[in-house]
Amino acid sequence: MSENEVKNSAEAQYSASSIQVLEGLEAVRKRPSMYIGDIGERGLHHLVYEVVDNSIDEALAGFCTHIEVTINEDNSITVRDNGRGIPTGMHEKEHKSALEVVLTVLHAGGKFSKDSYKVSGGLHGVGVSCVNALSDYLKAEIHREGKVFIQEYSKGKPTSDVRIAGDAEDTGTIISFHPDPEIFTVTTVYKYDTLAARLRELAYLNKGIKLTLTDRREKLIDDNGNPTGEFRNDVFYSREGLKEFVNYLDGGAEKLIESPIYLETDKIIPIEIAMQYNTGFSEKIYSYVNNINTIEGGTHLQGFKMGLTRTLKNYADKNNLLSKLKFDLAADDFREGLTAVISVKVAEPQFEGQTKTKLGNGEVVSAVSQATASALEAYLEENPKEARAIVDKVILAATARHAARKAREMVQRKTVMSGAGMPGKLADCSLRDPEKCELFLVEGDSAGGTAKQGRDRMTQAILPLRGKILNVEKAMEHRVFESEEIRNIYTALGVTVGTEDDHKALNLSKLRYHKVIIMTDADVDGSHIATLILTFFFRYMLDLIRNGYVYLATPPLYLVKKGKEEIYCWTDDERRAATEKLGKGTDKGVTVQRYKGLGEMSDVQLWETTMDPSRRLLRQVTIDNAAEAERTFSMLMGDDVPPRREFIEQNAHYANVDA
């Protein structure tokens, strides 16, 4: 059956009568954060994801193969797909077009009709109507039934009736919208890389679907620095799905097995899993339900871990590979060095947890566990050499865990002591309220001394770090806890690590500072040290980042000076503007000082530019896309040089790279 025939056969199932209404749209503009998370940068990008999710639902149903996302010159967004097109006929209950119902009524959509969609992602029908409510302009253009239908809206209300604008030979939906600046007061500027990360993720999770991203605000530049006339553009397409996703996530890691272990079932609960072992020491498992990243895990992740642990343990016992091991294995040992992606499609998912991203469907546990066990058993039997390498890796992980226990206990004992147990180099603050206190992690004793003199002693603590801290991406766990600099960070923060169930769990109940600020030199070495610290936080203190406690200080790059006039500059553009401003109508007696180290500033200058809460610029470290962050840390801190070089070349204009 051709694509058009498939679409035509479904028309009777997906029409105006398919659209079911649950409730109204009144609260969205009053409480937007309830529906999109926040009204900052994250919520702004979430609008795009909601529209794209509708197109992905069409793809999951088998009626869409191509989704195009365009960032327009005015920071509006256009999302186009080649699906069936939103129905435009009259809705019996609402007495208006089904298109208008979908775009103006909360919880209205085809995904509530089992005949229209078997599974769907997004926020369960609130998506496109929320986008409409939070946009000062939205245009829906529908191609179906041989016609082009158009309707326009503002702030969730139609400004025109549905009208026929011409004939159409294709089918599909085109949604264009501009975020309402009355709602998004922080920013209405879209970040290309943020959208690209999500579209890349969706391409891996939905193999065979092409997603295109175009930025009409930015024209490409050739090697000679001349504009090419073409816009920045990327096409995301995956033929092998999660296999390619795992290889992408592993970045620069050295593989332990040649190719990922893969399974795909299409039973009552469709399951797709890819897993790859590497020689590293991190566990990297990402789980998805209907394309939603379940950051809190849930029953599908539980089933995967059960199937993995049981199968590997049974294989090792059967082949007498654990005979020389003098202690019991822990479940964590089976996942060290593992990169895995689990994707399940559930018809009626039940979400739990603080952020509603934890799957609660009980029937999923056994389905995923059995599928994992079956695929892994077959792989181990057919690949004895790789099987032995995996078991040896598990034994090594167990041995390292036992070695790390003593080092970790030393950290624990030191942390629970009174102030006398604090690191000698820590210059603590006098307040004891964590919400008002901040800790600066500073590169070296020289900068540390300047920061100690310039700080607010009431609320600001300083911990100088000696040189480059350990690269935890390449270090076994016991070496991490044996590192003096890392032990000092644990002790200063007051956090403890490890429980009976999870020896890497972080306890933040006695955290002493709610702002942990990485303050390093504005040069290549400083960026490297900041990346090493962030890698440590990402691998061993992820909850610190998730709770919004980690920040990067932004010291100025330049001081432009003429006589008694001084202007601090953070970018080259600011430096040029300041030089021009101070040099106008004079003989160019302007001096420019490039700050390569924090120690080059006086304590007063460091306070005024970088530490004073009323004037400084702090960048909060967040994780919008955990899988993309995983890939970046693995690539930057791993052993494989080419991907790292490519990343640096592509992002050189963001970095402060000195000759």
Residue 182 bears catalytic tag: no
Starting from the edge strand earliest in sequence, which strands make up the sheet with 460-465, in order?
460-465, 438-443, 515-519, 550-553, 618-620
Q: Of 521, 608, 628, 630, which is the active-site residue?
A: 521
Q: What is the distance between the alpha carbons of residues 144 and 148, in angstroms, rounded to a whole number?
A: 7
Which residue do the tokens 């208008």 mark? 100
Helix (H) or strand (E) holding 91: strand 90-91
Map residue 324 onto helix, strand or coil: coil
Q: Do the beta carbons of residue 122 and residue 53 sit within 8 Å?
A: yes
* Residue 516: CA count within 13 A, CB half-sphere: 25
Q: Are 501 and 329 in contact, with CB atoms under 8 Å apart? A: no
CA atoms within 13 A on the CB side of 282: 29
Choosing from 523, 566, 574, 603, the catalytic residue is: 523
CA 328-332-337 angle, 5° bins: 120
Q: How far apart are CA 337 and CA 390, in angstroms?
A: 9
C-alpha 150/C-alpha 139 separation (Å) is: 7
Task: Compute the distance between CA of residue 1 and CA of residue 17 in angstroms, rounded to an integer.
Answer: 25
Active site residue 443: yes
Q: Rounded to 5 degrees, what angle do the CA atoms 175, 181, 187 make?
A: 95
With a CB cutoff of 8 Å and minimum separation 6, the contacts of 405 are 503
Specify whether the CB–CB gap between 237 and 220 falls below 8 A. Answer: no
Q: With DSSP H G I counted as helix, E B as strand and the rest as coil, what are the percentages for the chain, rounded to 5?
A: 40, 25, 40
- Is residue 543 helix, strand or coil? helix
3-state secondary structure of 317: helix
Helix 384-416 and helix 484-493, axial crossing angle in degrees, nearest 10 = 50
User: At which residue do the structure tokens 């799957």 appear?
Assistant: 359
| Closest residue by Cα to residue 600 from 441, 450, 466, 443 | 450
Amino acid at 465: L
Residue that has been written with the tokens 């690949």 in this structure: 383
Computed on alpha carbons and rounded to an integer, the radius of gyration of the chain in Å comes to: 28
For residue 57, the Cα-to-chain-centroid distance in whole angstroms is 22
Give the Cα separation of 291 and 270 in Å (integer).
12
Q: Are strands 292-293 and 210-221 parallel, antiparallel or unpaired?
A: unpaired
DSSP symbol at 424: T
- Are 108 and 126 contacting, i.e. CB atoms less than 8 angstroms apart? no
d(CA 245, CA 241): 6
State the Cα torsion 28-31-35-38 to the nearest 10°: 130
First to last CA, the chain: 61
| Residue 14, token pair as written in the block | 């997906």
Catalytic residue among 50, 443, 473, 477: 443
- Residues tagged active-site: 443, 521, 523, 525
